[in-house]
Homo-oligomer: A and B are copies of this chain.
Amino acid sequence: MAENFDKHSLKNGMVVLGEPMESVGSVAFGFMLPAGAALLPEGCCGASNVILDWIFRGAGDKTSRQLSDALDGLGIHRAGGVGSSRIVIGGALEASNLAQGLDLYADIILKPSLEQEQFELARQLAIDGAHSLDDEPRQKVILKLREQFYPSPLGRSTVGEIDELKILTAEKTKQIIENKFSLSDTIFSVAGKYDFESICRQMEDLFATSNHSETKDEKQEMRDDGQTRNKYLHIDNDGAQVHIGLMTETVKPTDEDYYNARVAVEVLSGGMSARLFTEVREKRGLCYAVDARYHSLKEAAGVMCYAGTTPEKAQETLDVIIGEFKRLCEGISEAEIERAKVGLKSASILQSESSSSRAGAIGSDYYVLGRVRSLDEIKNRIEQTTVDSVLGFLQNNKFKDLTVVTIGPRQVTVK
């Protein structure tokens, strides 16, 4: 539970962040590159996923096979993925192998081989991945919900659109990599056991290059014309359940009321005693899985709720959930706020003990807030919330304009 952080800016502008953790033998790291789904050119949805695969198929002087062998030879457990604005590539490994790992990752980022034949394989796997969503309605409803909720292009599918993947070319994808892999706009974070000085020296050497153009179109225009988004979208399938996704706008992490919003969501869905679990599952047995959580991008945020239930119970489930969202501003007890605060603090403490989650958290803090929050700061800010502060926030920011998506054999009515 370190409360101190390391920070250094490389000459190329890349920010290097570190959080030392006592008595772990591992280290986790990640590069956040500005090549997420929302930053892609129109018509290329899914290119980020192709890129994430393609750049690992050979880099520097190594073939695809040699690169895989080298990464596995270091025992790297790869992590990362595609977000709205960023892609993350990184992993966790034994601390003594970090330097060799960074050598490989520098090649992957700066000198990927990007061969045509490998592109076709990477693209086909991305298409298959997008297809496979049809067998995972629970994941699919959340992706569709983000698409409906966030202003375009922020909500764009992080998995990709099959139609667009089918016409994506290696040339176009290469161009995206060239435009988007901007080092000055990249955040590197590391947590666990490491020597910050030697990391910085190595990173300065590895990334001493200026052959990457700056991203020119980083700030995509919001093309929210109110036409492509629906307040209610239903996707018919003949599955066993109705999967309900529901989202309502709330304040961003930069907002003064951020912690009030987090506590409010925790009152709704922070545990077995929280309102959604109690009203939907415990009292009425309406569904097996229900939860709501705070979800944010840098540009916007919301409360995101999922429930999976039988077709017969879908309408009542949605009605009860919407009822709980709307009536939250009407009153919250002292005990509820106390439990929500304990729950949030406890989650923060547990997360602070994993090097992987800390590497992710400091990178994301820096990207969204421009600085890293300490565990003490987070705990103190949670502690400062009160019944009055949360209710005051809710009365000015009611959970009432809802975006709803359902997948299943039966539609619902959003009342």
Question: Which residues on B sit within 8 Å (CB–CB) of A57?
Answer: 282
B135 x A239 contact (CB < 8 A): yes
Among B78, B121, B285, contact of A125 (Cβ-Cβ < 8 Å): B285
B282 x A240 contact (CB < 8 A): no
B132 x A308 contact (CB < 8 A): yes
Chain B: CB-nearest residue to A342: B75
Minimum distance in angstroms from A52 CB to a CB of chain B: 12
Among B1, B277, B309, contact of A128 (Cβ-Cβ < 8 Å): B309
Select the residue from A92, A134, A310, A349 with max chain B CB neighbours within 10 A. Answer: A349
Q: Which of A21-29, A149-157, A203-211, A228-236 contacts B (4 or more CB under 8 A)?
A: A21-29
Among B1, B68, B240, contact of A273 (Cβ-Cβ < 8 Å): B68
Given known contacts A135-B241, A273-B65, A342-B74, A353 and B1 CB-to-CB distance under 8 angstroms? no
Minimum distance in angstroms from A158 CB to a CB of chain B: 15
A271 x B72 contact (CB < 8 A): yes
Question: Which residues on B sit within 8 Å (CB–CB) of A399?
Answer: none
Given known contacts A26-B353, A285-B121, A134 and B75 CB-to-CB distance under 8 angstroms? no
Minimum distance in angstroms from A342 CB to a CB of chain B: 4
Select the residue from A75, A120, A129 with max chain B CB neighbours within 10 A. Answer: A75
Q: How many copies does the complex hold?
A: 2
| In the bound complex, CA of A132 to CA of B136 (Å) | 11
B69 x A273 contact (CB < 8 A): yes
Among B21, B22, B131, contact of A241 (Cβ-Cβ < 8 Å): B131
**What are 13 inter-chain pairs, A to B, with CB distance below 8 A?**
A68-B272, A68-B278, A69-B273, A69-B335, A72-B270, A74-B342, A76-B346, A94-B346, A121-B282, A125-B285, A125-B287, A134-B239, A135-B240
Q: What string of 1s and 0s marks CB contacts (under 8 Å) between A66-94 and chain B?
A: 00110111111110000000000000111
Q: What string of 1s and 0s marks CB contacts (under 8 Å) between A134-150 and chain B?
A: 11111000000000000
| In the bound complex, CA of A335 to CA of B72 (Å) | 11
Question: Which residues on B sit within 8 Å (CB–CB) of A270?
Answer: 72
Among B92, B272, B343, contact of A56 (Cβ-Cβ < 8 Å): B272
Chain B CB within 8 A of A339 CB: yes
Question: Which residues on B sit within 8 Å (CB–CB) of A64?
Answer: 282
Given known contacts A68-B278, A135-B243, A73 and B289 CB-to-CB distance under 8 angstroms? no
Known contacts A71-B271, A124-B285; 6 further A-B pairs (Cβ under 8 A): A22-B22, A56-B272, A72-B274, A131-B310, A134-B239, A135-B137
